[in-house]
């Protein structure tokens, strides 16, 4: 594990809370680009990585990172159940933006063989499947970092309505949310102004894109995340945890 990742490993909760509060005060009136640029350089943020699904809106944050520092580590979780279009899009976007440090992470082969040998786990236990293919691989990868950059935004649900630029992610890690205050129109405008490529499935009715077996098109007027795990009360894969609990947002919350 890199030495930098140990900087806040033994930080008491009250000191972590004070550090996060200081970061939010420091960048409170900054825009997304300044927050991201500052976070990547600020010693109080530690060693950061961007976690990206290369989904419907991911290219915005990827583009910002490519401008500020294209050597920033980017973690892409290949669940091995993604749409073929997502895999092609991931490769094309990384090349077009000149991202120099994209790391593709997957579940361990032995874990897949033991827990989902025939690839049907998602049919009867979606939480277990997400945990196996997404949450655990990500947690292992994040053990090398003091924090991670996300594309979460306040408009995405009631549990995110007060989202700050910096927040705790367990006792020894933070999350950075540069786009926290962006509205849907901001995302669209940024993509258009910078001529960024759209995920090909967006035009086919997929405003939120996850694994192929658990993602369906969304009808006009539906919540953008209505197509994720349709018919169940599940709306999050489990990588966003607050106080040890999965944060559920959107139409099925």
Q: Report which secondary-structure segment, H or E, holds 63.
A: helix 58-69
Taking the C-alpha atoms of residue 76 and residue 158, their distance in angstroms, rounded to an integer, is 26
Closest CA to 94 of 105, 83, 86, 82: 86
| SS percent in the chain: helix, strand, coil, step 5 | 40, 10, 45
Q: Any idea which residue has 């077996």 for tokens? A: 213
φ, ψ for residue 146 (rounded to 5)? -85, -15
Q: What is the 3-state secondary structure (H, E, C) of 126-186?
A: HHHHHHHHHHHHHHHHHCCCCEEECCCCHHHCHHHCCCCCEEECCCCCEEECCCCCCCHHH
Q: Which residues face 149 on adjacent strands?
A: 50, 176
Provide the 10 A C-beta neighbour count for residue 41.
Answer: 11
- Residue positions annotated with a catalytic role: 237
Residue of 218, 185, 188 whose CA lies nearest to 204: 218
CB 66 within 8 A of CB 93: no
Give the closest residue to 96 by CA, choosing from 63, 142, 127, 140.
63
């Amino acid at each position: 594990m890199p030495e930098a990742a140990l900087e806040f490993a033994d930080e008491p909760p009250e000191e972590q809370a004070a550090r996060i509060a200081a970061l939010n005060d420091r960048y409170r009136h900054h825009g997304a680009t300044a927050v991201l640029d500052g976070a990547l350089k600020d010693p109080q943020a530690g060693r950061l990585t961007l976690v990206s699904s290369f989904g419907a809106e991911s290219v915005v944050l990827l583009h910002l990172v490519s401008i500020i520092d294209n050597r920033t580590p980017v973690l892409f979780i290949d669940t091995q159940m993604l749409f073929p279009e997502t895999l092609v899009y991931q490769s094309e976007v990384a090349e077009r933006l000149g991202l120099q440090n994209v790391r593709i992470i997957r579940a361990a082969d032995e874990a897949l063989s033991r827990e989902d040998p025939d690839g049907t786990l998602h049919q009867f236990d979606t939480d277990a499947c997400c945990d196996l293919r997404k949450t655990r691989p990500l947690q292992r990868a994040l053990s090398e970092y003091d924090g991670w950059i996300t594309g979460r935004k306040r408009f995405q649900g009631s549990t995110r309505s007060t989202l700050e630029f910096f927040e705790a992610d367990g006792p020894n890690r933070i999350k950075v949310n540069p786009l926290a205050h962006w509205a849907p129109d901001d995302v669209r405008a940024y993509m258009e102004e910078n001529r960024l490529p759209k995920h090909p499935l967006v035009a086919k009715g997929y405003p939120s894109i996850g694994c192929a077996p658990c993602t369906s098109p969304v009808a006009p007027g539906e919540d953008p995340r209505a197509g994720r795990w349709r018919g169940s009360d599940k709306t999050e894969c489990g990588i966003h945890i607050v106080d040890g609990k999965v944060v559920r947002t959107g139409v099925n919350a």
